[in-house]
Structure 1
Amino acid sequence: MSPRPPLAGAKTWQAVIDTANSQCQCSGSCGKDHTKTGGRCDRTHGSHAHKHGGGQVRLIAAPAEPTGLLLPPHQAAALPTSHLAAWCPACHDAARRAAAKAQQATAPAVEPDALF
């Protein structure tokens, strides 16, 4: 199956997917070590997902750095192609959750305002 681009940002998405050779570029940011597949997620665009309901894998072009996954959508969309990577939805969501958890753990505690 040839990759089907999204309706918006098709040229950027296609460039990212081509660079990734239509394969998820996660190398462990999702929390899995992907050791069985050489250290990189083996999901490819259009392949069948065996877990979580199956269906076809649709790769996402998103920030390559996990902290970039926390950017607001308008800032992530403005990133150059060289700062983007191909992510399968499972790795993308897990890496985003892990980055949010790490950011929250390092954020300074906010003291509540005094009532009086």
Structure 2
Amino acid sequence: MSGRVPPLAGAELWRAVIAAAAGRCQCRGTCGTAHDKDGGRCPAVHGTYQTRHGRSWVRLLAAPAEPSALLLPPHQAATLPKTALAAWCPHCHDATRRTATKVQLAAAPAAEPDCLFDL
């Protein structure tokens, strides 16, 4: 895995997730982009330079594969098994997480008014 710099913590787990993804972001449109030009999968490859989404080097993340699991607190996400993780580029990860947050907020029941008296 030349050219791939692992994170400071959890390097073995990160390497396993990135190797299973062949070094490429595993997003298939949950970020809101269809990725039509790339066969339905994000074209971001770890360690390459991208001109889209900020013109920078791609550094893939190992994060929960399910969009709803991206909202887990860090201490719970850290306990997920390797099979529940996927490789994400930062753009797809952030966009998918924003979408999951919107879905969660829309599904939440309306809160009762927080007031002392009925108006």
Q: Please give the TM-score of this superposition, normalised by the length of structure 1.
A: 0.96
Name which one, 1 or 2, has greater alpha-carbon Rg.
2
Q: Given residue 82 of structure 2, which amino acid in structure 1 is its aligned partner? A: T
Gaps of at least 5 residues in structure 1 are none
How far has the Cα of 1:92 moved from its partner?
0.2
* Cross-structure match for 2:34: 33
Greater shift, 97-106 or 51-60, is seen at 51-60
Matched, 1:58 2:59: yes
How far has the Cα of 1:3 moved from its partner?
1.1
Give the whole-Å Cα distance in 1 for the aligned partners of 2:70 and 2:50. 22
Q: Equivalent residues in 2 for 1:79-98 (5 A)?
A: 79-98=80-99
CA deviation string 1:53-110 (max 9, x = no partner): 3110000000000001000111111100000000000000000000000110111011
Q: Equivalent residues in 2 for 1:92-107 (5 A)?
A: 92-107=93-108
Gaps of at least 5 residues in structure 2 are none
Matched, 1:2 2:3: yes
* Cross-structure match for 1:115: 116
* Cross-structure match for 2:21: 20
Give the whole-Å Cα distance in 2 for the aligned partners of 1:52 and 1:113. 41
Q: Given residue 12 of structure 1, which amino acid in structure 2 is its aligned partner? A: L
Give the whole-Å Cα distance in 2 for the aligned partners of 1:62 and 1:53. 21
Q: How many residues end up aligned between the 2 structures?
A: 116
Moved over 6 A (4+): none
